[in-house]
Amino acid sequence: MDDKAQQLELVLHRLDALPTLGPIAVRVLDLTARAETETDEIVTLIASDPALASRVVKLARATERGRFANVNTVDRAVKLIGFQAVRCAVLGVQIFDLMERASASEVDATVFDRAAFWRHSLGVAVLAQWLARESGGDRGVQAEAFLGGLIHDLGLLALSLVMPEPLDEACRLAETGVIGFDAACERLLGLDPARAGKHLAEQWNLPPDLVEVIWLHGQPAPALLAMEPNDMLVAVALSDAVVRRQHLAPPGHGPRLIDEGALRSRLGLDVAAIDTLLPHVHRTVSERAEALGLDTPPEQELMLQSITRANEALCHMNLALRHQVASNQRDRATLQACATFLSEVAGSATPNGVLGAVARSLHAAAGGGRFIGIRQQAAPGRDQVVVMAPDGAVHDVTLAPTVESAQAPDGRSTLDVLRYEPVRAMFDVAERPHVLLVHRSDAGTTWLAHDASIDGHDAGGRVRMLRRVWQAAMGGAEAQATARQRHELLARANDAIARHEEQRVRTRTLATLGEVAAGAAHEMNNPLTVISGRAQLLARRLDEPASREMAEQIIDEAHRLADMIAAFRAVAEPVTSVIEPVSIPALLREIVSDLPGTGIAIDLDLAPDVPEIEGDQYQIRTALRQIILNALESPGCTRIIVRVQRAGIDDRLSLAVEDDGAGLSEHAMTHAFDPFFSDKPAGRQPGLGLPIAQRFVQANGGRISLENRTDGGARALVSLRIRRPAARPVLDAVRGGRGIDGA
């Protein structure tokens, strides 16, 4: 059970504990409910209680008919004002005495004025009785209307007895004009006076018409008029609204906004009829109060009190209006700050850009300050520290080791921002900057360290309202950043898939071409061998120089064709590597020394202590030689640099062959590793050098790629596996149960 339900249960329990109606009131209700009851029986019952009889006689004298007649007995009162009027007077006196006796033992409330309450109830009762008379009701109807008006706020009186302190607080809240009295009671007590009164009236077995008056008199006019015809309810509701307008009401009960015209129309009255009755209300209230034994000031003083209450109500209204104007101005400034902030971050702002806008917004709200943002990523790594100017401009973004946030005693997360060096550099350690949690999500947490003053009412309230806008904007920026990252990842993945698909098609094409080339090479080798052998024999037998030169030309071209067939087979047939330690520096020196003289300088830039690699020495030598030859053939090349160093990322050796030639065209960059491709003019090479180099490098666990240099020329990049030290002796020693040193 929540707190509100427990409060309601407590209130109802205390209402149930209130005293019930006395035996005479119960007997009167019982007798008047019977059609065969005689008047003498009622008169005898009332006369049995002298105090009650005296009060009833006084009430009868206070009526218009009784004012000019000599009423000194209950029997005379019944004959003068009627059976129903006496019945209502008895019930009114009994309920008044009962509630007053119950209140005598209670601590007086500091705000709720019980005397003012009864004056208000009497005012409603008197006016309701007059309205019933003006609308054509008989004396019984008028008496019922008087009783309904007298006890219409029974629930309010009951709550003042059982829950005085919360009711006082409700009166205070209602007096400020910020909230209505019924709403304040609902918030503080769990129910309003109307429901409390209905509960008590049903417990006392009051007539249904009176229960309806107590429960529903505060409903809007359309709701009242839509119910079963109950003129007493309409008369009491209208009287309550009119009397409140006269400020004849307890604290917290200001004018009730209700359609009085609709209620007057139901009763067949016009506004002039009510205006005629109003001047007599205060005098009649004083007379009826005296009859009930209520200490009420005379008519003139009562009117002065009403005027004073009206002035107090005006003061409260003016104060509330001033507060409302100030609140509206603050809200307008806050909305303007929100609009300014949102206009700055409109579009696709980055998280750091939004953080800068938050700093500007806070600077404007607080009137100054210095700011540093901290963006903690959910994934392990480093935090981003964003140093900003007061205008939110990002000066610097640095990475710092992750600092864990802690849990404060109030349950909120805190961050020791002084553990970040840029924060210590900006703020004085002794004064410690404020830390504002801007946004938290699965992606990370964003904080803002600042020394802005937000303790003032305006600044603090504005910041609290702006924080939701900041959080939403930061969340949107982070979502956009995440979407951009995922879009980039997806684009890269699609590119990789496209490249893999292209490579797959290319590999399949090359495999098919390789099979054809291997078969063709095998078939061409036999006749080529015959051609070469016969040409050599012919060259020996020919004495004529011109004929011998032609035979030797046939031999040279046959050898050239044999080399091409061998290259075809190298591209087409599977590569089998013999893995062994290979020294790249030694291999490069050997390759450079064996190259034909071209006049192009070849420089070796070798890092110290270049480790050996593991691979097939012949294949690696062939691949590197082809790469260098390809660089030598670049148009305009005057110098080649071969750089060798150990890669810092993994255990691999990195080689770069750079030339200062014309570089590679886009077409050549795309197809350089395609077999038989050549970017050279007529008389070109067969275009198998780079494809063979790629096959040999990949067969030895390496990678090769081409790129153009920014300052001109091309660069071939080769990555090869470094040879790992043999672990066999250590494993043997461990397996043999000996130490590593053989002991």
- Same domain as 545, residue 432: no
More reliable by pLDDT, 711 or 314: 711
Residue 354 pLDDT > 80, yes or no?
Answer: yes
Residue 206 contacts residue 32 (beta carbons within 8 Å) = no
464-482 per-residue burial string, b: 16 or more CB within 10 A, e: under 16: ebbbebbbebbbbbbebbe
For residue 309, being part of any structural domain is answered with no
Total structural domains within the chain: 4
More reliable by pLDDT, 262 or 290: 262
Q: For the residues 65-79, what does the mean pLDDT come to?
A: 70
Vertex 262 angle, CA 318 and 185, to 5°: 50
Q: What is the rounded CA–CA span in Å between residue 153 and residue 215?
A: 9
Cα torsion 220, 226, 232, 235 to 10°: value is: 40
pLDDT confidence of residue 731: 38
344 C-beta neighbours (distance < 10 Å), count: 18
pLDDT confidence of residue 308: 56
Q: DSSP readout, 264-327? A: HHHHT--HHHHHHHGGGHHHHHHHHHHHHT-----HHHHHHHHHHHHHHHHHHHHHHHHHHHHH
- Res. 716 pLDDT band, cuts 50 70 90: very high
- Same domain as 294, residue 244: yes
Provide, rounded to the nearest whole percent, the portion of the chain with pLDDT above 90. 9
Burial of residue 741 (number of CB atoms within 10 Å: 0-12, 13-18, 19+)? exposed
- Same domain as 63, residue 166: yes
Instruction: Give the phi and the psi of residue 359 in degrees, each rounded to 5.
Output: -60, -45
pLDDT confidence of residue 732: 45
3-state secondary structure of 413: strand
pLDDT confidence of residue 642: 94
For residue 330, being part of any structural domain is answered with no
Minimum mean pLDDT range among 187-201, 382-396, 462-476? 382-396
More reliable by pLDDT, 209 or 106: 209
- Same domain as 477, residue 360: yes
pLDDT tens digits for 590-641? 999 988 877 889 999 998 888 999 899 999 999 999 999 989 988 889 999 9
- Same domain as 541, residue 478: no
Residue 740 pLDDT > 50, yes or no?
Answer: no
Q: For the residues 399-408, what does the mean pLDDT come to?
A: 66
Residue 408 pLDDT > 60, yes or no?
Answer: no
- Same domain as 503, residue 387: no
- Res. 407 pLDDT band, cuts 50 70 90: low
Residue 583 pLDDT > 90, yes or no?
Answer: yes
- Res. 83 pLDDT band, cuts 50 70 90: low
Helix or strand holding residue 597 (H, E): none
pLDDT confidence of residue 581: 92
More reliable by pLDDT, 19 or 534: 534
Among residues 572, 594, 611, the one where a domain terminates is 572
- Res. 589 pLDDT band, cuts 50 70 90: very high
- Res. 85 pLDDT band, cuts 50 70 90: low
For residue 729, being part of any structural domain is answered with no
Provide the token pair at 307. Answer: 């005027």
Residue 588 pLDDT > 70, yes or no?
Answer: yes
Q: For the residues 265-276, what does the mean pLDDT come to?
A: 84
Calculate the average pLDDT of the chain.
Answer: 78
For residue 726, being part of any structural domain is answered with no
- Same domain as 618, residue 497: no
Q: For the residues 169-173, what does the mean pLDDT come to?
A: 84
- Res. 736 pLDDT band, cuts 50 70 90: very low
- Same domain as 548, residue 606: no
For residue 224, being part of any structural domain is answered with yes
Q: What is the rounded CA–CA span in Å between residue 106 and residue 499?
A: 90
Domain span at 661: 580-721
pLDDT tens digits for 478-522? 888 888 888 888 988 898 898 888 878 867 776 776 677 677 777
Q: For the residues 78-102, what does the mean pLDDT come to?
A: 69
- Same domain as 245, residue 124: yes
Of these ranges, 3-12, 201-210, 447-456, 725-734, the one predicted with the greatest mean pLDDT is 201-210
Report the interhelical angle of 260-267 vs 231-245 (nearest 10°).
Answer: 140
pLDDT confidence of residue 657: 94
Residue 691 pLDDT > 80, yes or no?
Answer: yes
Q: Which residues contact 195 (CB under 8 A, 6 or more apart)?
A: 155, 215
For residue 442, being part of any structural domain is answered with yes
Q: What is the rounded CA–CA span in Å between residue 591 and residue 621?
A: 7
Q: For the residues 258-265, what does the mean pLDDT come to?
A: 87
Report the interhelical angle of 181-189 vs 193-203 (nearest 10°).
Answer: 70
pLDDT tens digits for 284-335? 777 776 666 665 555 445 455 555 555 555 555 566 666 667 777 777 877 8
Provide, rounded to the nearest whole percent, the portion of the chain with pLDDT above 70. 76
More reliable by pLDDT, 605 or 97: 605
Q: What is the rounded CA–CA span in Å between residue 644 and residue 587?
A: 12
Q: What is the rounded CA–CA span in Å between residue 165 and residue 686?
A: 104
Q: For the residues 226-231, what does the mean pLDDT come to?
A: 80
For residue 511, being part of any structural domain is answered with yes
CA distances from 743 to 728, 731, 732, 733, 736 (A): 17, 15, 13, 10, 11
Q: Which of 306, 325, 321, 287 is nearest to 58 (CA)?
A: 287
Minimum mean pLDDT range among 199-203, 232-236, 446-450? 446-450
Q: For the residues 560-581, what does the mean pLDDT come to?
A: 76
Residue 411 pLDDT > 60, yes or no?
Answer: no
Among residues 525, 546, 572, the one where a domain terminates is 572
DSSP code, position 390: T
Residue 37 pLDDT > 80, yes or no?
Answer: no
pLDDT confidence of residue 103: 63
3-state secondary structure of 599: coil
Q: For the residues 364-383, what does the mean pLDDT come to?
A: 77
For residue 461, being part of any structural domain is answered with yes
- Same domain as 524, residue 477: no
- Same domain as 468, residue 509: no
Among residues 572, 604, 623, the one where a domain terminates is 572
- Same domain as 447, residue 353: yes
